[in-house]
Protein backbone atom coordinates (compact mmCIF):
# COMPACT_ATOMS: atom_id res chain seq x y z
CA UNK A 1 0.00 0.00 0.00
CA UNK A 2 2.82 2.33 0.93
CA UNK A 3 4.55 1.59 -2.43
CA UNK A 4 1.28 2.32 -4.32
CA UNK A 5 0.88 5.69 -2.60
CA UNK A 6 4.52 6.53 -3.31
CA UNK A 7 4.08 5.68 -6.97
CA UNK A 8 0.90 7.83 -7.19
CA UNK A 9 2.78 10.74 -5.56
CA UNK A 10 5.68 10.34 -7.99
CA UNK A 11 3.28 10.28 -10.95
CA UNK A 12 1.57 13.45 -9.67
CA UNK A 13 4.93 15.23 -9.35
CA UNK A 14 5.97 14.16 -12.87
CA UNK A 15 2.62 15.37 -14.23
CA UNK A 16 2.95 18.68 -12.35
CA UNK A 17 6.47 19.25 -13.69
CA UNK A 18 5.39 18.35 -17.20
CA UNK A 19 2.53 20.81 -17.07
CA UNK A 20 4.87 23.48 -15.75
CA UNK A 21 7.26 22.94 -18.67
CA UNK A 22 4.41 23.14 -21.18
CA UNK A 23 3.37 26.57 -19.89
CA UNK A 24 6.70 28.08 -20.92
CA UNK A 25 7.45 27.79 -24.63
CA UNK A 26 10.31 28.67 -26.93
CA UNK A 27 9.83 29.84 -30.51
CA UNK A 28 12.51 30.66 -33.05
CA UNK A 29 11.24 33.10 -35.65
CA UNK A 30 12.68 33.78 -39.08
CA UNK A 31 12.45 37.33 -40.46
CA UNK A 32 9.30 38.37 -42.23
CA UNK A 33 11.40 40.97 -44.07
CA UNK A 34 14.94 42.30 -44.02
CA UNK A 35 17.08 44.59 -46.15
CA UNK A 36 19.85 47.15 -45.98
CA UNK A 37 19.59 50.78 -47.01
CA UNK A 38 22.29 53.24 -48.08
CA UNK A 39 22.79 57.00 -47.91
CA UNK A 40 25.05 56.88 -50.98
CA UNK A 41 23.46 59.42 -53.39
CA UNK A 42 23.55 56.78 -56.11
CA UNK A 43 21.65 54.30 -53.89
CA UNK A 44 19.17 56.33 -51.81
CA UNK A 45 16.29 55.10 -53.97
CA UNK A 46 17.66 51.56 -54.51
CA UNK A 47 16.10 48.52 -52.88
CA UNK A 48 18.29 45.66 -51.58
CA UNK A 49 15.55 43.42 -50.20
CA UNK A 50 16.73 40.32 -52.08
CA UNK A 51 20.43 40.67 -51.16
CA UNK A 52 21.74 37.65 -49.21
CA UNK A 53 23.83 40.09 -47.15
CA UNK A 54 23.05 42.81 -44.63
CA UNK A 55 25.45 45.67 -43.88
CA UNK A 56 26.19 48.32 -41.31
CA UNK A 57 28.70 50.75 -42.74
CA UNK A 58 29.88 54.04 -41.22
CA UNK A 59 30.96 56.67 -43.73
CA UNK A 60 29.04 59.87 -43.06
CA UNK A 61 31.20 62.30 -45.03
CA UNK A 62 30.92 60.41 -48.32
CA UNK A 63 27.96 59.98 -47.59
CA UNK A 64 27.68 56.19 -47.73
CA UNK A 65 26.23 54.99 -44.43
CA UNK A 66 24.48 51.63 -44.54
CA UNK A 67 21.81 50.46 -42.13
CA UNK A 68 19.82 47.27 -41.63
CA UNK A 69 16.03 47.02 -41.32
CA UNK A 70 14.44 43.79 -40.15
CA UNK A 71 11.05 42.67 -38.85
CA UNK A 72 9.34 39.52 -37.61
CA UNK A 73 5.71 38.44 -37.47
CA UNK A 74 4.96 38.58 -33.73
CA UNK A 75 1.19 38.07 -34.01
CA UNK A 76 1.46 34.63 -32.33
CA UNK A 77 2.88 36.32 -29.19
CA UNK A 78 0.05 38.81 -28.59
CA UNK A 79 -1.09 38.55 -24.99
CA UNK A 80 1.92 36.44 -23.98
CA UNK A 81 4.32 37.00 -21.10
CA UNK A 82 7.82 37.26 -22.54
CA UNK A 83 10.63 35.72 -20.48
CA UNK A 84 13.35 36.51 -23.02
CA UNK A 85 13.71 37.64 -26.63
CA UNK A 86 17.05 37.69 -28.42
CA UNK A 87 17.69 38.85 -31.98
CA UNK A 88 20.83 37.37 -33.49
CA UNK A 89 22.83 37.77 -36.70
CA UNK A 90 25.58 35.65 -38.19
CA UNK A 91 28.75 37.55 -39.09
CA UNK A 92 30.09 36.73 -42.56
CA UNK A 93 32.43 39.65 -43.28
CA UNK A 94 34.06 42.73 -41.75
CA UNK A 95 36.68 45.38 -42.18
CA UNK A 96 38.02 47.01 -39.05
CA UNK A 97 37.79 46.43 -35.34
CA UNK A 98 35.22 45.90 -32.60
CA UNK A 99 32.13 48.05 -33.09
CA UNK A 100 28.93 48.91 -31.23
CA UNK A 101 25.82 48.62 -33.39
CA UNK A 102 22.69 50.23 -31.99
CA UNK A 103 19.27 48.63 -32.45
CA UNK A 104 16.23 50.93 -32.71
CA UNK A 105 12.50 50.25 -32.89
CA UNK A 106 11.00 51.33 -36.24
CA UNK A 107 7.84 53.45 -36.11
CA UNK A 108 6.65 53.26 -39.74
CA UNK A 109 5.40 50.25 -41.72
CA UNK A 110 7.63 49.19 -44.63
CA UNK A 111 7.95 46.44 -47.22
CA UNK A 112 11.04 44.41 -48.07
CA UNK A 113 10.69 44.85 -51.83
CA UNK A 114 10.27 48.65 -51.75
CA UNK A 115 12.19 49.96 -48.72
CA UNK A 116 15.06 52.38 -49.48
CA UNK A 117 17.03 55.07 -47.67
CA UNK A 118 14.43 57.62 -48.80
CA UNK A 119 11.22 55.60 -48.60
CA UNK A 120 8.73 55.09 -46.98
CA UNK A 121 10.14 57.27 -44.21
CA UNK A 122 9.19 60.80 -43.22
CA UNK A 123 12.88 61.28 -42.38
CA UNK A 124 15.42 59.82 -44.80
CA UNK A 125 17.37 56.92 -43.32
CA UNK A 126 14.41 55.48 -41.43
CA UNK A 127 11.76 56.46 -38.88
CA UNK A 128 12.84 55.03 -35.53
CA UNK A 129 12.98 55.69 -31.81
CA UNK A 130 16.24 57.51 -31.12
CA UNK A 131 16.82 55.72 -27.81
CA UNK A 132 18.31 52.34 -28.68
CA UNK A 133 16.45 49.18 -27.68
CA UNK A 134 19.83 47.48 -27.26
CA UNK A 135 23.25 47.01 -28.81
CA UNK A 136 25.09 44.43 -30.86
CA UNK A 137 28.81 44.22 -30.14
CA UNK A 138 30.58 42.26 -32.89
CA UNK A 139 34.20 41.43 -32.02
CA UNK A 140 36.93 41.42 -34.65
CA UNK A 141 38.44 37.99 -34.20
CA UNK A 142 36.22 35.33 -35.65
CA UNK A 143 32.88 35.00 -37.35
CA UNK A 144 30.10 33.97 -34.97
CA UNK A 145 26.60 35.01 -33.93
CA UNK A 146 25.93 38.39 -32.29
CA UNK A 147 22.82 38.75 -30.15
CA UNK A 148 20.89 41.63 -28.63
CA UNK A 149 18.34 41.40 -25.81
CA UNK A 150 14.98 42.79 -27.01
CA UNK A 151 12.83 41.31 -24.24
CA UNK A 152 11.36 44.63 -23.08
CA UNK A 153 10.35 45.74 -26.58
CA UNK A 154 8.86 42.37 -27.54
CA UNK A 155 6.88 42.38 -24.28
CA UNK A 156 5.42 45.80 -25.17
CA UNK A 157 4.48 44.49 -28.60
CA UNK A 158 2.91 41.40 -26.99
CA UNK A 159 0.97 43.73 -24.67
CA UNK A 160 -0.28 45.65 -27.73
CA UNK A 161 1.43 48.77 -26.41
CA UNK A 162 3.73 49.05 -29.45
CA UNK A 163 2.96 48.34 -33.09
CA UNK A 164 5.22 45.75 -34.70
CA UNK A 165 7.27 47.45 -37.43
CA UNK A 166 10.60 45.80 -36.63
CA UNK A 167 14.05 47.23 -35.90
CA UNK A 168 16.73 49.35 -37.54
CA UNK A 169 20.38 48.49 -36.87
CA UNK A 170 23.11 51.01 -37.52
CA UNK A 171 26.68 51.73 -36.52
CA UNK A 172 26.57 53.40 -33.11
CA UNK A 173 28.71 56.37 -34.14
CA UNK A 174 28.38 56.41 -37.95
CA UNK A 175 31.76 58.11 -38.21
CA UNK A 176 34.05 58.00 -41.25
CA UNK A 177 35.99 54.88 -40.25
CA UNK A 178 34.42 52.65 -42.96
CA UNK A 179 34.65 49.76 -40.47
CA UNK A 180 31.72 47.80 -41.81
CA UNK A 181 30.10 44.58 -40.62
CA UNK A 182 28.43 42.15 -42.99
CA UNK A 183 25.76 39.69 -41.82
CA UNK A 184 23.69 36.97 -43.46
CA UNK A 185 20.16 37.96 -44.46
CA UNK A 186 17.08 35.75 -44.68
CA UNK A 187 18.05 35.08 -48.31
CA UNK A 188 21.49 33.75 -47.37
CA UNK A 189 22.23 30.31 -48.80
CA UNK A 190 23.09 28.59 -45.50
CA UNK A 191 19.84 28.44 -43.53
CA UNK A 192 21.57 28.12 -40.17
CA UNK A 193 23.33 31.46 -40.76
CA UNK A 194 20.17 33.48 -41.29
CA UNK A 195 18.89 35.99 -38.66
CA UNK A 196 16.54 34.68 -35.99
CA UNK A 197 14.51 36.01 -33.09
CA UNK A 198 14.42 33.45 -30.28
CA UNK A 199 11.63 34.05 -27.77
CA UNK A 200 10.79 32.26 -24.51
CA UNK A 201 7.22 33.04 -23.49
CA UNK A 202 4.09 31.95 -21.65
CA UNK A 203 0.93 32.13 -23.81
CA UNK A 204 -1.88 34.39 -22.69
CA UNK A 205 -5.13 35.85 -23.95
CA UNK A 206 -4.46 37.63 -27.23
CA UNK A 207 -4.92 41.39 -27.20
CA UNK A 208 -5.79 43.70 -30.10
CA UNK A 209 -3.21 46.34 -31.02
CA UNK A 210 -4.92 49.71 -30.48
CA UNK A 211 -5.59 52.00 -33.38
CA UNK A 212 -3.94 55.35 -32.55
CA UNK A 213 -7.14 57.18 -33.48
CA UNK A 214 -10.52 56.42 -34.96
CA UNK A 215 -10.93 59.19 -37.52
CA UNK A 216 -14.57 60.09 -38.20
CA UNK A 217 -13.92 62.68 -40.89
CA UNK A 218 -11.26 64.82 -42.52
CA UNK A 219 -11.98 67.60 -45.01
CA UNK A 220 -10.03 70.44 -46.65
CA UNK A 221 -12.07 73.24 -48.22
CA UNK A 222 -11.46 76.74 -49.51
CA UNK A 223 -13.01 79.52 -47.41
CA UNK A 224 -15.26 81.59 -49.68
CA UNK A 225 -13.19 83.51 -52.26
CA UNK A 226 -10.24 83.97 -49.90
CA UNK A 227 -6.74 82.59 -50.29
CA UNK A 228 -7.47 80.35 -47.31
CA UNK A 229 -8.10 76.63 -46.83
CA UNK A 230 -9.86 75.25 -43.77
CA UNK A 231 -8.94 71.74 -42.62
CA UNK A 232 -11.50 70.08 -40.34
CA UNK A 233 -11.32 66.63 -38.77
CA UNK A 234 -13.03 64.70 -36.01
CA UNK A 235 -12.05 61.64 -34.00
CA UNK A 236 -14.34 59.15 -32.28
CA UNK A 237 -11.56 57.75 -30.04
CA UNK A 238 -7.90 58.49 -29.39
CA UNK A 239 -5.24 56.29 -27.77
CA UNK A 240 -1.87 57.74 -26.72
CA UNK A 241 -2.36 60.51 -29.29
CA UNK A 242 0.32 63.17 -28.85
CA UNK A 243 -0.35 65.52 -31.77
CA UNK A 244 -1.41 65.92 -35.39
CA UNK A 245 0.92 67.23 -38.08
CA UNK A 246 -0.88 68.94 -40.97
CA UNK A 247 0.97 68.30 -44.21
CA UNK A 248 0.53 69.85 -47.67
CA UNK A 249 1.77 68.93 -51.14
CA UNK A 250 1.54 70.38 -54.62
CA UNK A 251 2.15 67.07 -56.42
CA UNK A 252 0.61 64.51 -54.01
CA UNK A 253 4.09 62.99 -53.58
CA UNK A 254 6.29 65.38 -51.64
CA UNK A 255 4.55 66.55 -48.48
CA UNK A 256 5.78 69.16 -46.00
CA UNK A 257 4.43 69.96 -42.56
CA UNK A 258 2.69 73.34 -42.35
CA UNK A 259 1.45 73.14 -38.76
CA UNK A 260 0.68 70.99 -35.72
CA UNK A 261 -2.20 70.59 -33.29
CA UNK A 262 -2.08 68.82 -29.95
CA UNK A 263 -4.13 65.65 -29.70
CA UNK A 264 -6.33 64.65 -26.78
CA UNK A 265 -4.11 61.86 -25.46
CA UNK A 266 -6.70 59.23 -24.59
CA UNK A 267 -10.32 59.97 -25.38
CA UNK A 268 -13.53 58.01 -25.83
CA UNK A 269 -15.66 61.00 -26.89
CA UNK A 270 -15.77 62.91 -30.17
CA UNK A 271 -13.01 65.49 -30.57
CA UNK A 272 -13.15 68.19 -33.25
CA UNK A 273 -10.16 69.99 -34.75
CA UNK A 274 -9.73 72.91 -37.18
CA UNK A 275 -6.61 74.26 -38.87
CA UNK A 276 -6.35 77.14 -41.37
CA UNK A 277 -3.80 77.23 -44.17
CA UNK A 278 -3.31 80.86 -45.20
CA UNK A 279 -0.71 80.07 -47.86
CA UNK A 280 -2.22 77.35 -50.05
CA UNK A 281 -0.86 76.65 -53.50
CA UNK A 282 -2.55 78.21 -56.50
CA UNK A 283 -4.51 75.52 -58.23
CA UNK A 284 -4.73 72.19 -56.41
CA UNK A 285 -3.31 71.61 -52.90
CA UNK A 286 -3.16 68.16 -51.33
CA UNK A 287 -3.54 67.73 -47.56
CA UNK A 288 -3.07 64.86 -45.12
CA UNK A 289 -2.84 64.38 -41.35
CA UNK A 290 0.12 62.78 -39.63
CA UNK A 291 -1.00 61.38 -36.28
CA UNK A 292 1.90 60.96 -33.84
CA UNK A 293 1.81 58.85 -30.65
CA UNK A 294 3.68 59.68 -27.47
CA UNK A 295 6.20 56.94 -28.29
CA UNK A 296 6.99 58.52 -31.67
CA UNK A 297 5.09 56.04 -33.87
CA UNK A 298 2.73 57.61 -36.38
CA UNK A 299 0.20 57.00 -39.13
CA UNK A 300 -1.26 58.99 -42.01
CA UNK A 301 -4.82 59.88 -42.94
CA UNK A 302 -6.34 59.72 -46.38
CA UNK A 303 -5.39 62.61 -48.69
CA UNK A 304 -7.83 65.47 -49.33
CA UNK A 305 -7.68 68.27 -51.90
CA UNK A 306 -8.63 71.95 -52.07
CA UNK A 307 -8.65 74.09 -55.20
CA UNK A 308 -7.77 77.76 -55.38
CA UNK A 309 -8.86 79.07 -58.76
CA UNK A 310 -6.13 80.68 -60.82
CA UNK A 311 -6.15 83.54 -63.32
CA UNK A 312 -9.48 83.41 -65.13
CA UNK A 313 -9.91 86.35 -67.50
CA UNK A 314 -7.76 89.37 -68.34
CA UNK A 315 -9.01 91.75 -70.99
CA UNK A 316 -7.55 95.07 -72.22
CA UNK A 317 -9.39 97.21 -74.74
CA UNK A 318 -9.28 98.82 -77.14
CA UNK A 319 -6.17 97.26 -78.60
CA UNK A 320 -5.82 100.36 -80.84
CA UNK A 321 -5.83 103.59 -78.82
CA UNK A 322 -4.53 107.13 -78.69
CA UNK A 323 -5.41 107.95 -75.09
CA UNK A 324 -6.60 105.27 -72.63
CA UNK A 325 -7.02 101.49 -72.43
CA UNK A 326 -9.26 99.73 -69.95
CA UNK A 327 -8.05 96.60 -68.15
CA UNK A 328 -10.54 94.13 -66.67
CA UNK A 329 -9.42 91.22 -64.51
CA UNK A 330 -11.85 88.55 -63.34
CA UNK A 331 -10.16 86.56 -60.61
CA UNK A 332 -11.52 84.32 -57.88
CA UNK A 333 -9.37 85.58 -54.99
CA UNK A 334 -7.76 88.74 -53.61
CA UNK A 335 -4.13 89.23 -54.59
CA UNK A 336 -1.60 91.60 -56.16
CA UNK A 337 -1.16 92.00 -59.91
CA UNK A 338 1.93 93.42 -61.58
CA UNK A 339 1.20 95.38 -64.77
CA UNK A 340 4.02 96.11 -67.24
CA UNK A 341 4.21 97.66 -70.72
CA UNK A 342 7.15 97.25 -73.11
CA UNK A 343 7.96 99.11 -76.33
CA UNK A 344 8.89 97.36 -79.58
CA UNK A 345 12.55 97.31 -78.46
CA UNK A 346 11.64 95.29 -75.38
CA UNK A 347 12.27 98.24 -73.05
CA UNK A 348 10.00 98.49 -70.04
CA UNK A 349 8.23 101.87 -70.02
CA UNK A 350 5.44 101.19 -67.52
CA UNK A 351 5.49 99.16 -64.29
CA UNK A 352 3.00 99.22 -61.43
CA UNK A 353 1.34 96.92 -58.88
CA UNK A 354 -2.43 96.79 -58.61
CA UNK A 355 -4.40 95.16 -55.79
CA UNK A 356 -6.92 92.80 -57.33
CA UNK A 357 -10.08 92.15 -55.39
CA UNK A 358 -11.96 88.89 -55.86
CA UNK A 359 -14.39 88.63 -58.76
CA UNK A 360 -13.93 91.82 -60.89
CA UNK A 361 -11.32 94.58 -60.95
CA UNK A 362 -11.29 97.34 -63.58
CA UNK A 363 -8.75 100.14 -64.11
CA UNK A 364 -7.45 102.42 -66.87
CA UNK A 365 -3.96 103.03 -68.26
CA UNK A 366 -3.13 106.33 -69.96
CA UNK A 367 -1.29 106.19 -73.30
CA UNK A 368 -1.42 109.95 -73.90
CA UNK A 369 2.33 110.37 -73.43
CA UNK A 370 3.19 107.31 -75.52
CA UNK A 371 4.58 107.63 -79.06
CA UNK A 372 2.82 105.91 -81.91
CA UNK A 373 3.87 102.31 -82.30
CA UNK A 374 3.44 98.74 -81.05
CA UNK A 375 3.54 97.88 -77.37
CA UNK A 376 3.29 94.72 -75.28
CA UNK A 377 1.04 94.59 -72.23
CA UNK A 378 1.76 92.02 -69.47
CA UNK A 379 -0.28 91.25 -66.33
CA UNK A 380 1.37 88.88 -63.82
CA UNK A 381 -0.44 87.24 -60.95
CA UNK A 382 0.94 84.47 -58.68
CA UNK A 383 -1.21 82.00 -60.58
CA UNK A 384 -0.51 83.02 -64.14
CA UNK A 385 0.58 85.54 -66.76
CA UNK A 386 -1.33 87.30 -69.53
CA UNK A 387 0.19 89.21 -72.48
CA UNK A 388 -1.37 91.20 -75.31
CA UNK A 389 -0.20 93.48 -78.13
CA UNK A 390 -1.37 97.12 -78.12
CA UNK A 391 -1.16 99.72 -80.84
CA UNK A 392 -0.96 103.46 -80.17
CA UNK A 393 -2.00 105.82 -82.95
What pLDDT is attached to residue 358?
A: 65
Per-residue pLDDT tens over the stretch 211-250? 678 888 999 999 987 889 999 999 988 878 889 999 999 8
What pLDDT is attached to residue 210?
A: 66
pLDDT(333) > 70: no
Mean pLDDT along residues 264-292: 89
What pLDDT is attached to residue 215?
A: 87
Mean pLDDT along residues 55-69: 93
pLDDT band at residue 310 under the 50/70/90 scheme:
low
| Mean of all residue pLDDT scores within the chain | 86
Rounded CA gap, 303 and 255, in Å? 11
pLDDT band at residue 368 under the 50/70/90 scheme:
confident
Return the closest-CA partner of residue 158 out of 74, 71, 72. 74
pLDDT(390) > 50: yes
Question: ∠ CA 103-108-114 to the nearest 5 degrees?
Answer: 95
- Dihedral of CA atoms 22, 23, 26, 32 in degrees, nearest 10, equals 120
What pLDDT is attached to residue 70?
A: 98
Find the range with the poorest average confidence among 260-269, 303-312, 351-360.
303-312
pLDDT(183) > 70: yes
Return the closest-CA partner of residue 227 out of 384, 385, 382, 386. 382
Assign domain 24-202 one CATH number from 1.10.1330, 3.40.50, 2.60.120, 1.10.3470: 2.60.120
pLDDT(187) > 90: yes
The CATH number of the structural domain formed by 213-308 is: 2.60.40.10
pLDDT(17) > 80: no
Per-residue pLDDT tens over the stretch 117-166? 999 887 899 989 999 999 999 987 778 899 999 999 999 999 988 889 89
Decide whether 213-308 matches 311-392 in CATH topology: yes
* Cis ω before 318 (30° cut-off from 0): yes
pLDDT(8) > 50: no
Domain ranges of the chain: 24-202, 213-308, 311-392
What pLDDT is attached to residue 335?
A: 77
Fold for the domain defined by 311-392: Immunoglobulin-like (2.60.40)
Helix or strand holding residue 205 (H, E):
none
In angstroms, how far apart are the furthest CA atoms of the chain?
134
pLDDT(184) > 80: yes
What pLDDT is attached to residue 2?
A: 38
pLDDT(85) > 90: yes
What pLDDT is attached to residue 208?
A: 74
SS (H, E, C) 246-286: EEEECCCCCCEEEEEEEEEEEECCCEEEEEEECCCCCEEEE
Counting residues of the chain whose pLDDT is more than 90, the rounded percentage is: 51
Amino acid sequence: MFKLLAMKKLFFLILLCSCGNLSSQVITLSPEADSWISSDPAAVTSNFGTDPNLYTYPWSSMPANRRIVIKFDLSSLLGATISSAYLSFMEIGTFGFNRTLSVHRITTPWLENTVTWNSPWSTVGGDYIVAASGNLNPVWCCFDRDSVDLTAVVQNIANCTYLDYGWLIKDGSEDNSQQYWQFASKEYGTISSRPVLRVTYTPGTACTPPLPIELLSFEANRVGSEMLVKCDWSTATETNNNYFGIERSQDCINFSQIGTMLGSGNSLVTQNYTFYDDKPYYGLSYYRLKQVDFDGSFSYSAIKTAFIGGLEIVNIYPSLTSDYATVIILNSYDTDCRVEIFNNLGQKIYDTNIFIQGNRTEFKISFVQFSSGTYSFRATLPSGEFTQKLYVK
